[in-house]
Amino acid sequence: QDAAAETVAATGPQWAFNIAGTSDYVFRGVSQTEEGAAISGGVDATVGSFYAGAWASNVSFPGDDDTSAEIDLYGGVRTEASGWNLDLGVISYLYANQPTGADYDYVEFKAAASRAFGPATLGAAVYYSPDFFGASEDEATYVEANAAVSPADRWTVSGAIGHQFLSSDLDYTTWNVGAAYQLTSNLAVDVRYHDTDEHDFGDIYGSRAVASLKATF
């Protein structure tokens, strides 16, 4: 073993935990809680460049649907090349109490890159699923560009624009912009505006302001 490998083996994984409350769980511009509040929590382990984790939140879908929770399991590798931070990973989305035959569970492959330019960070990401959420067996690709800047101590202003491509006719564009304030070293509040270009898909695709409080330790 080289020195770096021996150090990782000696120290073991680095653990991080998070818990959050939000006025509306929004994923890619779409409410996952029928515009209601959500509580979530997660755990992450990092060993060298490799990481793995789990995260869960309550959910509520329209109609006669008893689905109660989303559980995400993920892993990947983070590295650096030519000044860019790279993240290659896979995410499994699992849903508790989903209706029989709904086929909500799916897997996505992720490739993301970001780079700091002074106080600003610019990034882009692409996610691909060969069999997306639901029983339609759609392939899906989501692409996003994002940016963040810290204009003052403890403040971060950020935003993103993305497009969800589906092999059916349910493509849409989404965007968000907001600000986060670091209350303490472990606690942050975020206020964010979300919207999509497809309000005709239903109320859960409509514009909304969301407030969140997140603790990390």
10-residue mean pLDDT series, the chain (217 residues): 51 94 98 98 98 98 94 98 97 97 95 97 97 84 98 97 89 97 98 97 97 98
Q: Show the CA angle centred on residue 18, arms to residues 162 and 33, nearest 5°.
A: 55
pLDDT at 135: 65
pLDDT at 73: 99
pLDDT at 76: 98
**Helical residues (DSSP H) of 22-171, grouped into ranges:** none
Q: DSSP for 21-32?
A: EESS-EETTEES
Give dist(CA 67, CA 102) in Å, integer: 10
Give dist(CA 130, CA 113) in Å, integer: 22
pLDDT tens-digit map of 74-127: 999 999 999 999 999 999 999 999 999 999 999 999 999 999 999 999 999 999
Give dist(CA 47, CA 149) in Å, integer: 28
Torsion angle, alpha carbons of 193, 198, 203, 207, to 10: 20
Give dist(CA 123, CA 130) in Å, integer: 24
Q: Tell me the whole-structure pTM to 2 decimals.
A: 0.93
Give dist(CA 128, CA 144) in Å, integer: 12
pLDDT at 2: 52
- Asked if 125 and 98 touch (Cβ cutoff 8 Å), the reply is no
In three-state secondary structure terms, 4 is: helix
Cα 87 off chain centre by: 13
DSSP structural state of residue 201: G
- Asked if 142 and 173 touch (Cβ cutoff 8 Å), the reply is no
- What are the residues facing 23 on neighbouring strands? none
- Asked if 162 and 137 touch (Cβ cutoff 8 Å), the reply is no
